[in-house]
Chain A
Amino acid sequence: MESTAPASPPDGAPALSMRGVSKRFGELAALADVGLEVKSGEIHALLGENGAGKTTLMNVLYGLVKPDAGRIEIDGRPVALDGPRAARAAGIGMVHQHLALVEPFTVAENLVLDRGPARGGLYRRAVEEAWARELAAGFGLALEPDRRVAELSLGERQRVEIVKALTSGARILVLDEPTTVLTPPEVRDLFVALRELAARGRAVVFISHKLSEVLDICGRITVLRQGVVQGTVAAAATDEQDLARRMVGHSLGGLSRGPRFPVGQARLLEVVELGVDSAAPRPAMNFHVSEGEIVGIAGVEGNGQLEICETLSGMRPARSGTVRLGGRDLTRASPLERARAGLGVIPEDRTQSGVVLEMSVADNLALRAHRRPAFRRGPFRLQSVFDANARELVAKFEVRPPDPDRAIGTLSGGNQQKLLLARELSERPTALVAANPTRGLDVAATEALQNRLLQARAAGMAILLVSTDLDEVLALSDRILVAFRGQLAEVPAEQLDRETVGLMMGGVGFPAAAREEAIRL
């Protein structure tokens, strides 16, 4: 079986050594003279913020991106990685952040697809499923080969991915942000499995931006910022403050929460016994957001937040219950009616649901506003008003470059997000649903957007902040709800701290049935 211990490297050379790796994308230096060394039996962290170059480095390692310069050695031997096939042959196994399994396929079919054809090219179900079961057991992992991936939890899918990566005889296992989609118990299971694999002599590269997690599991940590290595340190010789300084480069300017608006006077957004439309039946939800209040919904991705946001914005029909805004029933209202009633929405997938990439900045900013009387005369729209509106908002929200005629798709993600926020806020909504508003943005853009949200709150807006970034939720919210397996529970007011919220994200405080399901996995 392929699960035999990997060949030990000659004369103690590191399992993986990357030196002087550089890559430019146009203007941007994604990687500048990056070096990384990982030993067999080591769990090595690659720590960095979104956009620091972690994923680019791993794509270089997996042969998906060709570096402009640099040298890669495996077990002391130089290798040319010109494609995934070469990378696999060299002993590199990759577990991607967005799991790359074929969902309608069974577990065994996925593993066989990756492994390659058996003799004769046939796929014999019974034979292959027995093979898969045995294989996983050889790695100390349990799998159910006959189940369809679509039916598996994210933790189980990740296990399939790991087995898949190991099947090709990988000696170097790379995991890209593996805990993003997992609950705390699943994370514990993952760590147990990774330690076991390392103990059997494999090298593990653990990519993450979470400090505590990296300190917990890894032996050494390489920090990456803006494509440049900020040092490699032993976990035992560092702490969160040190890592944070290396990772961010400066201390955050901080958020000015501003004067608290007297909360609790008027419940602007009310959700009563709401049943969302989803594949699995889910219990009804109740919550409200008052004037001048930010209510955060924390939770691991995929626990029903998307459904909540889409139901509130009118993109997904409600099964039951009521959504009210300022006392008005909007349960069956169209997105347009909701906007007219005073609801603004920052959708999670900016380029899919937020902006029209092919249209200009001015046109995007007018997607809602063009219906106002000032923007039209009879059936005709007034381009001059479109442009004036855009110039004003672009200046106010400090969009770069400040050019209303540019196609919005040519702007950076942060500037697109600013424009999206500008568009929604310029409608003067009384309530705003913001889903992961700062995801993928750099530090400066994140701060700017978070401050905008706080300003809006100070002006009396009711804001529902749905975010998988726990720090963001903790920093901005007046009250916090946690989403878990499609259910919501409020964090007690006196316990708005990391530990409590983190525990609840893992199912603590939810009805036993929901928790059971999580722990079983």
Chain B
Amino acid sequence: MIVFELAAASIRMSAPLLYASLGELLGEKAGVVNISLEGAMLVSAFAGTVATLACGNLWLGLAASVAAGMLFLAAFAALTVALACDQILVGTAMNLVAFGLTGLLYRERFGASGAALTLPIFPPVRVPLLADLPFVGPLLFEHNLLVYGAFLLVPAVHLALHATWPGLALRAAGEKPETLEAAGYSVRRVRAAALLAQGALAGVAGAYLALAHAGTFVEGLTAGRGFIALAIVVSGRWTAIGVLGVSGTSVAAQFHLQASDLGVPYQFVRMVPYILTLVVLAQVSRARSAAPAALGR
């Protein structure tokens, strides 16, 4: 039964990674790399925490997270899209800002000692009928709503990119911005819109960590998940389906290592996604063609 528990936990832990990496996917498809996704999640998680404590309502907390994520990405977009600053450097700077800002406000608000906060968390919701199925029912259909949302988001993002006109414009902004511009549309606007959507998703990812996973906020709560999401997009070859596959594999590998009880120190288990990323990248990077042609420009 422990394996079963771990499998269900893997599904739950994939959710924030899915939100974050699908958000990053939207940005990269539009031609913008955001390495401050980590910072965006951190800021969102903090905003969600404060709002939940203030209002006592998880949904308002989630809304605050989304707003904070979008605000953070609006700043990122102002620098990278409007001012055309270097994306890697802006990302590095924005991460510092996010760590500094959340650290400062956290200590100002809750005190330097960091007495553990306790937050309500999103409760599991049984899907009627489906949850009664043997085995798969409890595995797949007894999660909180944000988990279902994450998995529904995969086909949604795929369809948005390939079966709508805005998706077409977004991909054109990442492949050949000058063509989009010549067609009379603003590449900046398309990229800014993609980044705002990314901000909303990063907001949900941040909210998930505080309000569905940890039930608390600590400094550095995101623990590198923003960077893992970045890697998932590359390893997933810039497709929504690939993102789903890679994040699932990565989380499952971690839990498998934990479950197999080989006496592997937990620090090594935590290294898995990072090392796995590098191994996958080494396998796929030679065939770079899957990357949007104008990525980073």
Contact = CB atoms under 8 A, between A and B. Distances in A.
Interface stretch (B39-47, B118-126, B179-187): B179-187
The B interface is mostly helix, strand or loop, or mixed, namely helix
B179 A112 contact: no
A109 B163 CA distance: 10
Contact of A88 (B172, B175, B184, B293): B184
A123 B183 contact: no
A378 interface: no
Contact of A113 (B163, B172, B178, B293): B172
A122 interface: yes
Contact of B172 (A84, A85, A94, A102): A102
A489 interface: no
Contact of A100 (B166, B169, B182): B182
Contacts of B164: 121-123
B165 A84 contact: no
A122 B155 CA distance: 15
B184 A84 contact: yes
B156 interface: no
B179 A118 contact: no
Contacts of A85: 184
Nearest to B176: A102
A117 interface: yes
Interface string B280-297: 000000000000010000
B163 A123 contact: yes
A432 to B, nearest CB: 32
B176 A123 contact: no
A520 interface: no
Nearest to B177: A102
A274 interface: no
B127 to A, nearest CB: 29
Interface string A390-417: 0000000000000000000000000000
A104 B173 CA distance: 12
B163 A116 contact: no
B166 A117 contact: yes
A112 B178 contact: no
A94 B168 contact: no
Contacts of A117: 165-166
Nearest to B165: A117
B182 A84 contact: yes
A302 to B, nearest CB: 18
B30 to A, nearest CB: 13
Nearest to A64: B182
B162 interface: yes
Contact of A112 (B165, B180, B182, B293): B165
Interface in A67-123: 83-85, 88, 94, 96, 100-105, 109-110, 112-114, 116-118, 121-123
A94 B182 contact: yes
B175 A123 contact: no
Interface in A110-142: 110, 112-114, 116-118, 121-125
A19 to B, nearest CB: 25
Contacts of B162: 123
Contacts of A96: 182
A124 B168 contact: no
B167 interface: yes
A315 B199 CA distance: 41
B176 A103 contact: yes
22 contacts: A84-B181, A84-B182, A84-B183, A85-B184, A88-B184, A100-B179, A101-B176, A101-B179, A102-B172, A102-B175, A104-B171, A105-B172, A105-B175, A113-B168, A113-B172, A113-B179, A114-B183, A122-B164, A123-B163, A123-B164, A123-B167, A123-B168
Interface of B: 162-169, 171-172, 175-176, 178-184, 293
Given A83-B184, A125-B163, 6 more contacts: A84-B183, A100-B178, A105-B168, A109-B168, A122-B163, A124-B163
